[in-house]
Amino acid sequence: MKDITIRKFADKSAKIGIVGLGYVGLPLMLRYVEVGYQVLGFDIDQSKVDKLNKGESYIEHIPADKIAAASTKLFEATTDFSRIGEVEAVILCVPTPLNKYREPDMSFVIDTTDAVKPYLRAGQVLSLESTTYPGTTEEELLPRVEEGGLKVGENVFLVYSPEREDPGNPDFETRTIPKVIGGHTPACLEVGKALYQPAIDKVVPVSSTKAAELTKLLENIHRAVNIGLVNEMKIVADKMDIDIHEVIAAAATKPFGFVAYYPGPGLGGHCIPIDPFYLTWKAREYGVNTRFIELAGEVNSHMPDYVVGKTAHALNLRRKAINGSRVLVLGIAYKKNVDDMRESPSVEVMELLREFGAEVAYSDPHVPVFPKMREHSFDLKSEPFTAENIASFDCVVLTTDHDKFDYDLLKQHAKLIVDTRGKFQGKDENIVKA
């Protein structure tokens, strides 16, 4: 059975199934179509499925013409999970958020696996790409896959291969980002490699699904901890009247032993603010307290409060209270040059400003209308980025430094700028670093 499945991937007669057609699933779909595979995409959102089948895109950095080209040739989207039997590979790309207690919310993974399992058949490989705690594939997916009589490693195959996407980064794409993969058995790993090698330039096998799961967490915890460190350094430097960005630039000239990380208004995105807590939660099962990781999380989660505190102080020095002030938040996506709002610290800043009585607005060329979010609600549209409009606000808080903003115009016309990204160098009367 293993050899038959591997042969189908090699000769491209295998159809690829991707469950979850978002920031991870869509780029993966496009890559498989590009190399000549048929792809069947699954999603529970009928509106997304309809758009994709019409050749439309709902993610800014994924062009509609690429979706259109795929949907007229090798790609089809559906909400019908009974069609799982048509594919040789079932790749799960679903969210893994935290609940309000900062514990893993595995409902998307479990519900999706439960939706898939009645239609699994011999010869298929099931790959989980969602970021999760070590042991998820063995504890949650394995028993469900084998419920109907299939035997993992013999006639069906189970792997974990964490997604690695960096939306908006032109230097990397799905093909060029190395793919880590772990199999439940050696046979599973062989099939998993056969699945990904035609689409990805470099596949990195590891000894188990647990090792692959922990690899993904380590990558993102590494970033979270170092960003926590530099955020704390920013606060210290500010007290000493030192520009932390000048210091980072100088330190980065060292050709060894230093990697530059940059402070900001907090952590955003679907990985960095969330993934560390998957490990801290699982580590407690083993009697281990991950103090270092949790401290970094504490520092990073405090940054929106720090930004608003600096804003209130800056307004106060200009004889204005934050209560009643008109404040424009500039850039609300979680990172520059994308429309991705997941876990954006800019939204936390907006909510805190609103709680203090500020009249809050935002401007973001990538987010024309404030989207519906599970935990945040603003009935706002993006403000025009014009000299007249900028001058009408008491304060502009720069939270996401999109390239589309005219920073010379901003500096010239804003009464007060609170710069959380180090975009402005030197000292100016109307600029406060935060």
Instruction: Tell me the catalytic residues.
Output: 271
Residue 433 amino acid letter: K
Cβ atoms of 48 and 62 closer than 8 Å: no
Q: Which two tokens stand for residue 155?
A: 């006639």
Q: How far apart are CA 31 and CA 196, in angstroms?
A: 11
Cβ atoms of 340 and 271 closer than 8 Å: no
Q: How far apart are CA 79 and CA 133, in angstroms?
A: 28
Strand partners, 359: 326
Cβ atoms of 289 and 283 closer than 8 Å: yes
Q: How far apart are CA 228 and CA 55, in angstroms?
A: 41
Cβ atoms of 2 and 190 closer than 8 Å: yes
Residue 330 amino acid letter: L
Q: Which two tokens stand for residue 18?
A: 């991707």
Identify the CA nearest to 343 among candidates 405, 421, 265, 402: 265
Cβ atoms of 96 and 106 closer than 8 Å: yes
Q: How far apart are CA 41 and CA 25, in angstroms?
A: 8
CA 338 to chain centre: 11
Q: What angle do the packed helices 291-317 and 209-239 form, to 10 degrees? A: 30
**SS3 assignment, position 309:** helix
Q: How far apart are CA 236 and CA 240, in angstroms?
A: 6
